[in-house]
Amino acid sequence: VLMCRQARVDGTDEYMDVTGRKQCTISWGPVPSILSVKDRTNDETTDSDMRTLADAGFEAFEGQGMTSGVWIKDGAIHIVRSSLVMRERGLWSGSWLAEYVVRTSSGGSGWTVTGSLKIRTHFWEDSNVQSTFTRRMPESVTTDGNPVAREVVRIVLDFENKCHASLDGLVDTSCRPACKALRRRQPMNGLKFDWNVHRQTLSRDLTDNTAQLVDAKPARWQ
């Protein structure tokens, strides 16, 4: 079960499974658990064209290193591709959330595909650095001349690959110069900046020592 708004049933604690054929009741706790599972009886699941396209899309996206779900809801096919990786020992985490909607085109001669992608990263080693990369996919139209499921999968993967390449380029062109600029040389001694906070306490130490000298002044000064 992929618990997201696309899979939620009428604002309840029931969610469709990733295929959209089962309906699961969720019990919320420290770790959510499934209380019961039943077959769906929603009329939307009986639309043969949409059902065929949804099943083909799920088979194409399944097993690509992330959790994928495909549902028929509100007269459209909703696709969600999600992944979360956390390395506590490495002090970093990252998440990938892609959402797409496939609808019949206004002319009825094809399908339109829209969607968005959000990538989040978080590093917390000696700091708290977070970044969010968001892109919205322009509307794409498939035609009846090509297998619809294959065309939808191609559109989605092309969009995600372009976003990945754009993110790689952003890291290469922006992050390296920014980090290098942060490690500038100090004007007095010409050494690189030391990020250890305990090495940057000279003024505080002098203040503390001065206070000790004042407290220990001879009696004739009083």
pLDDT digits (tens, 9 = 90+) for 133-167: 999 998 887 766 567 888 888 999 999 999 988 88
Amino acid making up residue 148: V
Is the pLDDT at 117 greater than 70, yes or no? yes
Same domain membership, residue 101 and residue 32: no
Within a domain: 202: no
Same domain membership, residue 34 and residue 53: no
Which residues span the domain enclosing 11? Answer: 1-43
**pLDDT tens, position by position, 33-82:** 888 898 876 655 556 778 888 888 888 888 777 889 999 888 899 999 99
Residue 170 is predicted with a pLDDT of: 78
Residue 180 gets which letter from DSSP?
H
Across the range 170-184, mean pLDDT stands at 66
Same domain membership, residue 153 and residue 60: yes
Same domain membership, residue 142 and residue 123: yes
Amino acid making up residue 138: P
Q: Mapping DSSP to helix (H, G, I), strand (E, B) and coil, where does residue 117 land?
A: strand
Same domain membership, residue 146 and residue 49: yes
Same domain membership, residue 142 and residue 34: no
Same domain membership, residue 51 and residue 159: yes
Lowest mean pLDDT across 15-24, 55-64, 120-129? 120-129
Lowest mean pLDDT across 29-38, 120-129, 136-145, 185-194? 185-194
| Domain count along the chain | 2
Q: Mapping DSSP to helix (H, G, I), strand (E, B) and coil, where does residue 146 land?
A: coil
Is the pLDDT at 25 greater than 50, yes or no? yes
Same domain membership, residue 27 and residue 74: no
Same domain membership, residue 89 and residue 14: no
Rounded Cα distance between 100 and 102, Å, is 7
- Band of residue 213 on the pLDDT scale cut at 50, 70, 90: very low
Same domain membership, residue 29 and residue 53: no
Report yes or no: 39 and 22 within 8 Å, Cβ to Cβ: yes
- Band of residue 19 on the pLDDT scale cut at 50, 70, 90: confident
Q: What percent of the chain has pLDDT over 90?
A: 19
Same domain membership, residue 165 and residue 101: yes
Q: Can you give the CATH number for the domain in which 107 is found? A: 3.90.1150.210
Is the pLDDT at 128 greater than 70, yes or no? yes
Within a domain: 193: no
Q: Mapping DSSP to helix (H, G, I), strand (E, B) and coil, where does residue 70 land?
A: strand
Amino acid making up residue 135: R
Same domain membership, residue 25 and residue 99: no
Phi first, then psi: give them for residue 102, nearest 5 degrees.
Answer: -115, 120
Within a domain: 130: yes
Rounded Cα distance between 218 and 55, Å, is 89
Rounded Cα distance between 76 and 100, Å, is 10
Rounded Cα distance between 62 and 188, Å, is 58
Within a domain: 11: yes
Residue 78 is predicted with a pLDDT of: 93
Lowest mean pLDDT across 4-13, 36-45, 82-91, 197-206? 197-206
